[in-house]
Every structure is written in C-alpha cells, then in structure tokens.
C-alpha cells in the first residue's frame, strides 16, 4: 500500500484529496502547521525529515502566494528525494500566466528543476470560493473588480480526484495539467446560480480595483498577496481567463462538474 504526504492537507483541496485517496485504499499522512497527523511548517526546516519518512508520493499546497518560498521548496525536495520519495504533485494555479515571475511561477520552476518526478496541477478559480473563501457573499453581496469577465469555475472535488489519480498511477510524469469547469460564467451568472441554491438573494457588485485593494489592505492582507490577487482578477476582467481546460477529461475520462451541479451539491446542502 502506498503512503502519501499531503502538505496543506487540512485545506479545501487537501481534505477532499485525503478522503479520495483513503477511499482508493491508500494511506495518507496529513501535514500542516496547526492540524493533521504531523506538524509541518515550510518555515521550519526541522519539520521536513519526519514528514517524508516512509512516504511514496507528496502533494504540495504552498504557504501562500505572497512571497517567494521556492528556496524552501527546493530544500524540501532534496530532503524528500534523500528519503526515497518517488513523485510529487504541486497545486499551482492556471493564472500563473498572469504574474510570470510571481511566487507561484517560481515554485513551479523549483519543482520542474528539482530531483523528483513531478506533475503540476493548474486549476482555474474554485467554485468553492463562493462558499469557503474570497467570494463568500457578505450581506448578500459579492464584490470584485471583474466586470463582466467570465471564469470557468472548477469544483475542488474534481481537482482532488485528478490529484488522486495522478498520485496513485504516476501516469502523468513531468506534465502540467490545466483544470477548469466545463463552461465560463460571469459573476452575475454565478451569483444567480448560488442564490437559487442558497434560497436567498445574492448580487454581484463590480468593485473598482482601488476599492478592492483598499479593502484588502484594511484587512491586513500582505502586499505580495494583493499583487497576486489583482493579477488573477485582472485576468478574469480582461476576458483572458474565460477559456476552458480539459484536465478533468484527460485524467478522469469524464466531463468536469458544472457550476450548477456543484452549487446543488454543496451550496444547496447548507439550506
């Protein structure tokens, strides 16, 4: 039986991936700073060796997109290779193209030039951002500087299933897999679907970029993360992120989950 280390395994993707891997009969070791099976902190090198002992493959969610953590990643990969780990999958982002020398692009480079066989997953924006992260409605409103830009929101469960297949089979060595939902929706369309499932009104407000940045600063958000987020949202606003990717079809041999089906399953269940 293979054992997989999930760094960032207590997050949105990691929890779903852990469940999937266990269902498929694999053993899972969940790592994070504050929860899971083993304490792991990218900024504490002493936590690397015990995390990788006895591990076959590693799934990596990084410590955020605000600052360059690629030197830590390179160091970790060397420790993992020394411990006999055979492959690594990195959760990157499709929007890496919108910030070419940002922390996410640098992390990808560390993986590609590192000692382990790798697969890089590049998902579009998560559907779950509307229920668990940055687009959760506040007082019935989702505000973002994206105008009528469309995005093929991806169901995190699809990402987890793709990641599980990649780790279990090793069939996508040294490849990038772009993953998205099956159709692009504008934010007006997305909140209409969400509102119908939540059973309460939700509206979208097209915020100015300045207003969005001010809101993030007031909440204490690091400047590096603001730069990354504005690049991602700028990609949506410009229409350049509206294209659909075929990662789910390629790896799982089925269509990606629609935003409507995701909303029915997860948002509708909270009613």
Ligand X SMILES: NC(=O)c1ccc[n+]([C@@H]2O[C@H](COP(=O)([O-])OP(=O)(O)OC[C@H]3O[C@@H](n4cnc5c(N)ncnc54)[C@H](OP(=O)(O)O)[C@@H]3O)[C@@H](O)[C@H]2O)c1
Best CA proximity match to 152, nearest among 235, 66, 91, 229? 235
- Which of 20, 29, 87, 125 touches ligand X (CB under 6 A)? 125
CB 221 within 8 A of CB 67: no
The yes or no reply on residue 235 touching ligand X (CB under 6 A) is: no
Distances (CA, A) of 86 to 41, 48, 118, 168: 21, 16, 9, 12
The yes or no reply on residue 245 touching ligand X (CB under 6 A) is: no
**Dihedral pair phi/psi, residue 259, rounded to 5°:** -60, -40
The yes or no reply on residue 34 touching ligand X (CB under 6 A) is: yes
Choice between 9 and 234, CB closer to ligand X: 9
Q: How far is the CB of 27 from ligand X (least distance, A)?
A: 19
The yes or no reply on residue 70 touching ligand X (CB under 6 A) is: no
CB 120 within 8 A of CB 176: yes
Q: Give the list of residues 6+ apart from residue 113 with CB closer than 8 angstroms, or none.
A: none
The yes or no reply on residue 14 touching ligand X (CB under 6 A) is: yes
Stretch that binds ligand X, among 29-37, 205-213, 233-241, 248-256 (CB under 6 A): 29-37
Best CA proximity match to 149, nearest among 220, 95, 71? 95
Q: Which two tokens stand for residue 212?
A: 């969005």
- Which of 61, 111, 142, 177 touches ligand X (CB under 6 A)? 61
The yes or no reply on residue 248 touching ligand X (CB under 6 A) is: no
CB-closest chain residue to ligand X: 11
What mask, x for binding ligand X by CB under 6 A, covers residues 79 to 118? Answer: ------------x-x----------x--------------
Distances (CA, A) of 163 to 123, 124, 254: 11, 15, 15
Q: Which residues lie near ligand X (CB under 6 A)?
A: 8-14, 32-35, 40-43, 61-63, 65, 91, 93, 104, 123, 125-126, 129, 133
């Amino acid at each position: 039986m293979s054992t997989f280390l999930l760094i960032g395994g207590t997050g949105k993707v990691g929890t779903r991936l852990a469940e999937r891997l266990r269902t498929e009969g694999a053993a899972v070791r969940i790592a994070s700073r504050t929860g899971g099976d083993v304490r792991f902190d990218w900024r504490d090198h002493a936590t690397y060796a015990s995390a990788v002992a006895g591990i076959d493959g590693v799934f990596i969610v990084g410590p955020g997109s605000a600052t360059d953590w690629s030197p830590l990643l390179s160091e970790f990969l060397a420790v993992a290779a020394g411990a006999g780990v055979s492959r690594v999958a990195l959760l990157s982002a499709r929007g890496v193209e919108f910030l070419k020398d940002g922390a996410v692009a640098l992390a990808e480079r560390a993986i590609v030039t590192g000692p382990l066989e790798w697969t890089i997953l590049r998902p579009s924006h998560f559907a779950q951002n509307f229920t668990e992260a940055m687009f959760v409605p506040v007082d019935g409103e989702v505000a973002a500087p994206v105008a009528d830009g469309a995005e093929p929101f991806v169901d995190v469960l699809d990402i987890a299933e793709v990641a599980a297949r990649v780790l279990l089979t090793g069939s996508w060595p040294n490849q990038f897999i772009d993953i998205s939902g099956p159709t692009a929706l504008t934010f007006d369309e997305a909140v209409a679907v969400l509102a119908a499932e939540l059973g309460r009104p939700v509206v979208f407000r097209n915020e100015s970029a300045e207003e969005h940045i001010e809101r993030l600063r007031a909440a204490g958000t690091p400047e590096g993360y603001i730069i990354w987020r504005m690049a991602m949202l700028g990609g949506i606003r410009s229409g350049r992120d509206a294209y659909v990717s075929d990662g789910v079809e390629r790896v799982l041999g089925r269509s990606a989950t629609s935003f409507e089906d995701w909303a029915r399953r997860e948002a509708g269940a909270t009613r």
